[in-house]
Amino acid sequence: MKSEEKEKPIEIDNRSALIYTLSDAATLEHMVMCGYLFATFSLKREESERLSAQQLNTVQRWDRALTAVAVQEMLHLALVNNLLSAVGGPPSFDRPNFPQRSKYFPSAVQMVLLPFGEDALRHSLFLERPEGMKVEDAEALINAPAEEKKTVQLEGMMPSHQEFSSVGHLYRGIEQGIHELAKKYGERNLFVGSRKAQATKKFFGWDKLVPVSDVSSATAAIEEIIIEGEGARGDWKKAHFGKFLAVYEEYKKMRESDPDFEPARPVVPAYVRYHDDVTEPIVKISDPLTLRVADLFNSTYEIMLQLLTRFFLHVGTTPAELEVLANTAVDTMYSGIRPLGTYLTALPIGPNLPGKTAGPAFEIYRRHSYLIPHRRTAWIILSERLAELSEYCAWLKMLPQAPPGLAEIEEVLKKCGQAISPRAKTARRRHKN
């Protein structure tokens, strides 16, 4: 691992450029998180999947390690949204569909979904590499043609994408921009957002999830993201980079001692439908049951994004209601998306791709659609949608060869819908009064 030349500094000279760049950072964190979850879902779960007891134990340990990193990426996404809220920006949970070959990010960064293995681990090391360190991406991605950039950075009023060599480079640029804008506008005038419109430990349980209200707290939030990802200025052993490196080295040793060792299922990203923002060929699911489970996965993922967006709006919402939004978002993630993602990777794609199983593609169906602006309308729509998903899950579990555990997911979605229903909301306000 060698050092690499520092690239051109990121320039942020007004609030619009800061919000734009923070939104890029949110998109990056979001897609990286999905990539890590995809790799985690792809791991085998039973000795019957041609694993010894010792190998299964190791795979389960890797599962915990990757899941912990994905959870920290969720924390980073929340911190970026705190930064956005603090400087007057809207919450950002939107992103393009996978895969994206250097279209939304620097020319070297490709956002793809890879099953656990050498390519996935090398790609993770590349994404999380400390600033200034030379790390090669996965060979399959190095040889893949990058999509031609459609934006050109120009001097002027409109912000645009800027090249960054690493995640640390991006956040150091944001940090420098915040310091410069605090001088330009004045610190109080830069941080015009409310501390109440942010995620904190009170709602999500993370000690490191702090509100942003000034340069000091903004710097602390950025440092947390950098330290957990690439490490603190050369000390990366406990950071994401170090964790991935440890797994990668152990994986290589196990493969060398047993070339037949395969910890992942034969997973490929599999889609329910085609999307306009994806220009390269994708694999579409043809198996009817798998198609329905994937549709449920994507719909549950969508409602989680709507819940998180509503949480960060905070408009006219009481602390009790914010707690419900946060709890419901977390429940859909851990008790809905996670088990559904694992079930999918055991299901066949269909006769169009025999021998391969379906990896969840985290499909985005409607860009910029996660904001429901009116408070009462939002709670009605969210509750209604959760009830619909619960009913769909109840129907799905009755189909032949349906995956186990759908009854539990049905119940979780049902309780989430009841918790967020307008009737429950009214009852909470009456109880408070």
| pLDDT tens across the length of the chain (433 residues) | 444 555 678 999 999 999 999 999 999 999 999 999 999 999 999 999 999 999 999 999 999 999 999 999 999 999 999 999 999 999 999 999 999 876 666 667 889 999 999 999 999 999 999 877 889 999 888 776 555 544 445 566 778 778 887 888 899 999 999 999 999 999 999 999 988 889 999 999 999 998 999 999 999 999 999 999 876 556 788 899 999 999 999 999 999 999 999 999 999 999 999 999 998 899 999 999 999 999 999 999 999 999 999 999 887 888 899 999 999 999 999 999 999 999 999 999 999 999 999 999 999 987 656 777 788 888 999 999 999 999 999 999 999 999 999 999 999 999 999 999 876 655 445 445 4
Domain boundary among 221, 244, 265: 265
**Token pair of 10 as six digits:** 């990121």
Strand blocks (E) in 65-179: 100-101, 110-111, 133-134
Domain co-membership, 187 together with 310: no
The CA distance from 29 to 93, in Å, is 10
Domain co-membership, 230 together with 312: no
The CA distance from 418 to 310, in Å, is 17
Domain co-membership, 95 together with 55: yes
| Residue 39, domain CATH | 1.20.1260.10
Strands 283-284 and 357-360: unpaired
309, 322 in Cβ contact below 8 A? no
Question: Whole domain around residue 90: which residue ranges?
Answer: 1-265
pTM of the model: 0.93
Nearest to 64 by CA among 113, 116, 112: 116
Domain co-membership, 111 together with 258: yes
Residue 258 — left, alpha, or beta (φ > 0 → left; ψ -120 to 50 → alpha)? beta
Domain co-membership, 131 together with 1: yes
163, 8 in Cβ contact below 8 A? yes
Domain co-membership, 274 together with 261: no
Domain co-membership, 235 together with 92: yes
| Residue 297, domain CATH | 1.20.1260
